[in-house]
Amino acid sequence: MDRIQQAVILAAGEGQRLRPFTASKPKVMIPIAGKPILGYVIEAAAQNGIRKITIVVGYRKEQVIDCFGAGEQYDVEITYVDQRQQLGTAHALKQAKGTVSGTFLALSGDNIIEANTISDIVKATPNTILVKEQDNVSKYGVIKAQDGVVTSIVEKPKEAISPLVNTGIYAFHDDIFDVIGQETDLTTVLRDMIAAGRQVGACFATGAWLDVVYPWDILKLNDMALSRISPATGGTIESGVGIKGLVSIGKGSIVRSNSYIVGPVTVGENCEIGPGICILPSTSIGDNVCLAPFSLISNSIIADGVEIGPGSILHDSIVDRGTRIKGHLVTQSEETEIRVEDEYHRVHIGAMIGEHCSIGGNAVTAAGVIIGNRSKIRPLKFLEGCIPDESLVI
């Protein structure tokens, strides 16, 4: 069997359970270790010899197109098709009809994968699902397979009937577009194929596969991605700076005296760090970030254009792009219960702060606080719960 050399990547969805971080950008554009999630998928495909890629876009599509263009930076050829209504995965895939021929790979654009994750399925026959063992299968489509053949697919079972989950990565032949018909969901299409006696194969993934469903998943993905970065120093490191472990510092960035960075950590381009800053493991700093003196940040994501005032302490937190924080912010971090839509989750998390917020000095956030985009917080406030977009806290 020849290797698959073309792919369709589904990247049209919003990801409502990830708000506030998807209110103004698609799920696939959430930055992980300084790079959009979709970038990892394209890289993995390119490293497996896939050069022709169709990306199905929809929600905030212009951000995807502006970022990835024609694919030159990845040495691939990218074509875009528009899913105007996000009706389901089968409907999304069908939008790519006519852009691929023969056997192709179908992938979700919102999962972190590596080249070896798909190294076997690029050699698979059509109608094959990439499956992965997971400890908690309750939020996935669960696969039962025998001798490499899928016997059933059960969506989000209450009981763990199998440790195998559907990764949303498939090998298909272009006749799948006719099989889909008017169906909107790929899982239903595959179930119908099995019921009709068509063989659906199971290919077992050994490489990384991590999906992001809830805001706190972003930190898990960031931690995994950072563990694979290459050390680099593209900026200026002043005397008296301590750097330990995997640390990447982008071009034009300055790390001021007496700062201490313990990797894995990535710092983007044109940042100003310190003096006297402490950045601890699993932290990702975007481009054009300013961290004022004597702040401590650990296991956090600080997006592009963020300014954090002096003496701030952030643990297990996410601060989206363009937010301005005055001095002495403290984000408390501990296990807490968070409601997302009608679901309740117990997670260990700090603060989740949307984009273009303004937070006054000496604020304190309770564990699990969600601060909506463009909110303005006056000084000396204690913040908890879920604060809607464009709130004014006085």
pLDDT in tens, 120-148: 898 988 888 898 877 776 777 787 777 88
Res. 154 pLDDT band, cuts 50 70 90: confident
Q: Is residue 1 very low, low, confident or very high in pLDDT (cuts 50, 70, 90)?
A: low
pLDDT of residue 291: 96
Q: How many CB atoms lie within 10 A of CB 330?
A: 18
Query: Any idea what the Cα angle at residue 136 is, between residues 134 and 139, rounded to 5°?
Result: 105
Q: Please report the domains of the chain, with CATH numbers, ordered by start residue.
A: 6-213 (3.90.550.10), 231-393 (2.160.10.10)
Predicted pLDDT of residue 247:
94
Q: What pLDDT does 311 receive? A: 95
- Interstrand relation of 236-237 and 254-255 (parallel, antiparallel or unpaired): parallel
Has residue 367 got a pLDDT over 90? yes
- Among 296, 74, 301, 117, which Cα is nearest to 206's? 117
Question: Do 356 and 338 contact (CB within 8 A), yes or no?
Answer: no
Is the pLDDT at 181 greater than 90, yes or no? no
Give, as one character, the DSSP assignment of residue 264.
Answer: S
pLDDT (0 to 100) of residue 329: 96
Q: Name the token pair of 391.
A: 């709130």
Average per-residue pLDDT for the chain: 90
pLDDT at 178 (0 to 100): 85
Arithmetic mean of pLDDT, 219-245: 91
